[in-house]
Structure 1
Amino acid sequence: MRHHVATLVWRVLLAAALVCGIGLLPWLSRTDPALTVLKARSADRDPTPRVLADIRAQLDLDKGPLHLLGQWLGGLPRGDAGRSWLNGTQVTPTVVQALGVSLLLVTVALVVAAVTAALVCARTLWLGAHRRLDRRRSGGGASAMLAALPEFLTASVLATVVGVQLGWLPALGWYGPQWTVLPALALGLPAGAVLGRLLDDLLPGAFAEPWTQAAEARGLRGRTVAVKAVRRCLPALLPNLGLFVVGLTAGSVAVEQIYDIPGLGRTTLQAALAQDLPVLQAGALALLLLAAGATGLATLAVRRLTGPALRDGALDSLHRPRRSTRSTLPLVYGGLLTAVVALGLLRDPLALDTGARLRPPSRAHPFGTDALGRDLLARVGHGALDTLLVALAISVTALVVGVLLGLLPRLSGPLVDTVNAVPPVLAALLVTAVAGSGAGTPALAVAAVSWAALAAHTSSLLRQERATSHLTATRALGANRWYLLRHELLPAILPPVTRHALLRLPGVALALASLGFLGLGTQPPAPEWGLLLAENQPYAERAPWAVLAPAAALALLGALAVSAAGGVRWRPRRRARPRPPATRTEQPLPARELVEAG
């Protein structure tokens, strides 16, 4: 009981700190809030001292941020979140309506993601049900490329091809259920590919457990065994699913912008850019409540599915040490990516040729040219260095922080919920307000939020591994916490979390790109991959190669990351493991007996 109360207090304090930080955003940015409001209301009006003084008096800006924050918090118990600084309308109906739109969109996107994840895992399920599954297999290049596709590029292609050219579905607006199909596909396909890869990583361990042999001996059908294997993997997957729900709502800004959807992400972003403080605070609070609700439901579902097994130590480990996967796919993907980068570095990425604008691929320009006549191969090659190095550094940092905090679930659980509810765009605005704009602002913003999913994955695996029978036996033999962490827990946790981090590597690059597109990161004429996508996206219909070149490079990066992740294993030692320290009342067992007992 005391633990639950402390966790609740910790969550409330974190949420309050975030809301207070957002409330201080106009003053932290060292800009005049009255000037920002005037520009948003009427860009043509001169910012004279009298006009600015009238705005300050109207919005009570002269009374300071603490007065405004207290006034806003005082109205929340009555359901009053204040009035918009821009148009004077009530904030609560606007945010509630935007939240309803986002929940509908996310629900349909989750259906798409579930179907996509099922297709990704279909081969593994079939092989496991027929006892033909090799735990050392590798693959998944197609799902990796699908996971690496940027959401705004997928949304643009679907809107252009399916909505405009073919006319099958509406491509703009939000007027009914049929308007949800294209944006839900843009959100659900990449998310489903990631969830499918995570589930596909767990299924071999489930099919290798002794219960599958018992089920086969009892004559159960392969389909029944496959369903039970999926259910066995859900406790480790559901925490990530809860994060995906919040991530789709908070990270769907680009999709909502393309399809003109009045969702919560777009509403919060527009309020942040215009410094419409009441709407921004209410939107952030709605995201926090959504994160808390999704995480709570995921936790209840995990306990419901696992039952007393987590208390009785009756589970088997899904991640026993195994040999590394030997595959030539990482060499193939890495060789192709290296060749593209090397050939691009030999060309000038800034050379303009207005007579060769939007030229298709040719011998002179293998990837074609952009709207200014610049060679796309050169820009992709030169942009690879910044994109890959920064994304790799952020991924390594997120992996280290995520594992360290994930091993402390009481501390990291509320922190993960709070951080995951913050869109990278809002995090970038907060970082810019505190540290100022610069080349490192996008990296700091993405690094501040990218560790949350890895920490949640670590905590879920830690909870499962602590309930395994071999850990219970090793603990009964007198092993201390350090021995259990080094020889039992880390070998089971680090490989899947590392594979998860590699799977998110292209997403980190895309997050940096989206910030650059919004003016918070890399700026033209820098040849950063995400910026290339943003620059050439308006020409996707006339010159598809202009967006396919950087998109193919990102997809190749995703395939390389996933194929390399297949070989991430904790190598078992050839010699017997050392004995755990014996208790005073027990005699130490020989190493061979200890290994057999563990």
Structure 2
Amino acid sequence: MSGPVKSALARVAALAGITVLIGAIPWLAHRDPALTVLRALYPDREPDPEALAEIRADLGLDRGPLGALADWLAGLLRGDLGTSWVTGRAVGEDLWPALGTSLVLMGTAILVALAIAAAFSVRPLRRAATGHDAPSSGIGLGLLVSLPEFAIAALGVAVFASWLGWLPAYGYGSADTAILPALALGIPAGGVLSRLCRDGIAQAAGEEWVRQWRSEGIPSTDIQRALAKRALPPLVPQVGVMSVALTGGAVAVETVFAVPGLGREALRAAEAQDLPALQAAMLILVLLGFALGAAARLGGALWEGRAAREAPVAVAAARGHSPRAARLWFAFSAPVLAAVVLAGAFRDPDALHTGRRLAPPSAEFPLGTDQLGRDVLARIAHGAAWTIGAALIAAVAVFLIALALGFAPRLAHPLAESLNSFPMALAGVLVAVVLGRGQAGAVIAVALVSWPPLAVHAASLARELRRSSYMESVVALGAGRGWIAFRHTLPALVGPLSAHAAMRLPGIALGIASLGFLGLGAGVDSPEWGTMLSQTLPYVDRAPLSVLAPVAAMAAFTLATLAALPMARRLPRPRFTARIPTPRKESAPRSKPEYIFTPE
């Protein structure tokens, strides 16, 4: 069976498993569905056993999990998404218009991302075509990806709606109301796509045909067009990945701007425990993510095949970040964040100053107070433990999952390819419904969808190690599987995976904050950065620092981490020593050779 067929079957199996999981939500929820319906429809009625049994019979829950799941799946085949437990109407009456709104918003955001990527690719194309080194995808471009969608949405509301009054802060239905939501979704995606474009141009510029064209005097504009055709095909699948990320990001953006989209409907259904509406919304979002990913992979395969016939395979490596720029960004962001944390670490984040609500910055409160009169500086400092600490726990969990799957590459690749199309926001909603809301649930949700890239990396490293001549000599000398796994494979995986997990740490932290912003993570009174932003956003007119402070903290942490990675690569690398045992079959003793290697 060929690789593409296996990948397709794995994705179909994963989609089927996710569908069954969504169908089983009423039985996995931490609340009794009958009690939820009783409180929604009959708030004055006592939840006695007879009333609950009657509601279970009306909902079809008395048939048990398998019977209810079969009825739900049969309804899907007929095009019936179910009936809302709260409104009593057909779920499709609200979700299909919401899906159209979300598709328009996501399409506009993709156009914004493509425009940003095109703008940031003009200079690299010109330099590469004229023989100059293409600029690296430096840390400066990381400003576009250092903030999640909900933080950019909050900044848009603060600057363009509240301070300048140029655009409306909420609502949807006209051209001016679509600008801020599209920018909030498109700017981070455009930053990611711009960095990929720059790296692709730098890689294509190192091919032999580029130098040959320049030596023959071919015009620079023709070389630029050829470079663009050569560098773009590998990026087409990334548009699919970006579209899946937009599916999750739309939940937060639609919540901020009160856009009646599918993500907002899913979150509303989760808050009301309207499980039929939640099931339908999640299923549509998952199908949308899988469809966008499949379309992008197909388009990338067709385009890449065409480009492969027009030019030789690329051999140059993409350039990394400038060490000097990394040091400058680290020197700017890390001390600022450390100073804020140290200054507020000894302050009480929960002390209420009722007479100083929404107070401006002063000597007593350097960053002002929030809507309850709490010190913003203290809450930012203590919130670092909530956000960064939870991100570290999630990163360790992701690292351990990927390390375990590195020993099973045949299992790692299909699982990673399948779950890579599941948005983080939906994972947060699912975990919140099953386990309840809390910081532990946010960590679990983020870890569940963050391990696929590391698992693929680990599986690739393990496969390369097994195919190396060094490993062949180890096997020939009689080393067993356990010895090879713990003395050779494990040391080779730990270093690269640790660096990869550190690179993913900012994204994990922003994921924790996004779930907190949506109310799916830490409690409303916690100083977690995303939760802080959610609670203070309605008061941006009176206390702008209470909104800008958590946004600045997230940006500083992201930039400091991204800047520290290039600096860490220049440090001395650890050396692992693997000793090969003497084969037992040989009667004469022989010296034990030592193999010293440095895993990449």
TM-score range, shorter chain: 0.7 to 0.9
Distance across 2 between alignment mates of 1:310 and 1:250 = 33
Distance across 1 between alignment mates of 2:307 and 2:423 = 36
Aligned-residue offset at 1:454 = 5.8
Which residue, out of 294, 297, 309, partners 2:295?
297
Which residue, out of 205, 208, 211, partners 1:210?
208
| 1:268-295: CA deviation from partner (whole Å, max 9, x where unpaired) | 2223333433333332332232222222
- C-alpha contact 2:171 2:259 (8 A) present in aligned 1: yes
Bigger mean CA deviation after superposition, 171-180 or 337-346 = 171-180
Aligned-residue offset at 1:410 = 6.7
Distance across 2 between alignment mates of 1:321 and 1:184 = 31
- C-alpha contact 2:145 2:188 (8 A) present in aligned 1: yes
The equivalent of 2:583 in structure 1 is: none
Q: Are residue 283 (structure 1) and residue 266 (structure 2) matched?
A: no
Query: Residue type matched to 2:370 in 1?
Result: D
The 3 A distance-change label for structure 1 pair 403 and 49 is closer
| 1:395-430: CA deviation from partner (whole Å, max 9, x where unpaired) | 455467569869988755653454344443442344
Distance across 2 between alignment mates of 1:312 and 1:215 = 14
The 3 A distance-change label for structure 1 pair 39 and 197 is farther
Counterparts of residues 53-202 of structure 1 (less than 5 Å)? 53-133=53-133, 139-141=138-140, 143-159=141-157, 161-163=159-161, 168-202=166-200
The equivalent of 2:241 in structure 1 is: 243
| 1:25-66: CA deviation from partner (whole Å, max 9, x where unpaired) | 222234210111233345555434454333222211211222
What SS does the aligned partner of 1:21 have? helix
- C-alpha contact 2:148 2:514 (8 A) present in aligned 1: no
Q: Are residue 22 (structure 1) and residue 22 (structure 2) matched?
A: yes
- C-alpha contact 2:137 2:321 (8 A) present in aligned 1: no
What SS does the aligned partner of 2:542 have? coil
Q: Are residue 560 (structure 1) and residue 556 (structure 2) matched?
A: no
- C-alpha contact 2:162 2:541 (8 A) present in aligned 1: no
Q: Which blocks of at least 5 consecutive residues in structure 1 are unaligned?
A: 467-474, 484-492, 574-598
Q: Are residue 263 (structure 1) and residue 289 (structure 2) matched?
A: no
What SS does the aligned partner of 2:543 have? coil
Distance across 2 between alignment mates of 1:192 and 1:383 = 29
Give percent identity, aligned residues only: 43
- C-alpha contact 1:245 1:294 (8 A) present in aligned 2: yes
Aligned-residue offset at 1:342 = 1.9
Aligned-residue offset at 1:445 = 0.9
Distance across 1 between alignment mates of 2:10 and 2:160 = 47
- C-alpha contact 1:416 1:452 (8 A) present in aligned 2: yes
| 1:465-496: CA deviation from partner (whole Å, max 9, x where unpaired) | 99xxxxxxxx9x9898999xxxxxxxxx9999
The 3 A distance-change label for structure 1 pair 65 and 85 is farther
Q: Root-mean-square deviation (CA), in Å?
A: 4.1
Bigger mean CA deviation after superposition, 88-97 or 338-347 = 88-97
What SS does the aligned partner of 2:145 have? helix
Q: Are residue 39 (structure 1) and residue 57 (structure 2) matched?
A: no
Distance across 2 between alignment mates of 1:482 and 1:553 = 51
The 3 A distance-change label for structure 1 pair 503 and 126 is farther
TM-score (norm 1): 0.79
- C-alpha contact 1:240 1:456 (8 A) present in aligned 2: no
- C-alpha contact 1:288 1:418 (8 A) present in aligned 2: no
The 3 A distance-change label for structure 1 pair 247 and 162 is same
| 1:162-192: CA deviation from partner (whole Å, max 9, x where unpaired) | 3466554444333245432221111111221
Distance across 2 between alignment mates of 1:501 and 1:276 = 37
Bigger mean CA deviation after superposition, 325-334 or 27-36 = 325-334
The equivalent of 1:472 in structure 2 is: none
The equivalent of 1:317 in structure 2 is: 315
TM-score (norm 2): 0.79
Distance across 2 between alignment mates of 1:348 and 1:197 = 41
Q: Which blocks of at least 5 consecutive residues in structure 2 are unaligned?
A: 475-492, 574-600
The equivalent of 2:451 in structure 1 is: 451
The 3 A distance-change label for structure 1 pair 170 and 433 is closer
Distance across 1 between alignment mates of 2:415 and 2:565 = 27
Distance across 2 between alignment mates of 1:426 and 1:398 = 18
Q: Are residue 229 (structure 1) and residue 227 (structure 2) matched?
A: yes
- C-alpha contact 2:143 2:559 (8 A) present in aligned 1: yes
Query: Residue type matched to 1:232 in 2?
Result: R
Distance across 2 between alignment mates of 1:355 and 1:523 = 24
The 3 A distance-change label for structure 1 pair 424 and 334 is same
Counterparts of residues 539-578 of structure 1 (less than 5 Å)? 539-567=539-567
Query: Residue type matched to 1:561 in 2?
Result: T
Distance across 2 between alignment mates of 1:39 and 1:412 = 44
Instruction: Report how many residues are paired.
Output: 552
- C-alpha contact 2:244 2:422 (8 A) present in aligned 1: no
Aligned-residue offset at 1:120 = 4.0
- C-alpha contact 1:368 1:375 (8 A) present in aligned 2: yes
Distance across 2 between alignment mates of 1:422 and 1:55 = 33
The equivalent of 1:595 in structure 2 is: none
| 1:428-462: CA deviation from partner (whole Å, max 9, x where unpaired) | 34435655665422111111112346668999x99
The equivalent of 1:328 in structure 2 is: 327
Distance across 1 between alignment mates of 2:145 and 2:319 = 27
Q: Are residue 534 (structure 1) and residue 520 (structure 2) matched?
A: no
The equivalent of 1:361 in structure 2 is: 361
The equivalent of 1:13 in structure 2 is: 13
The equivalent of 1:488 in structure 2 is: none
The 3 A distance-change label for structure 1 pair 96 and 340 is same
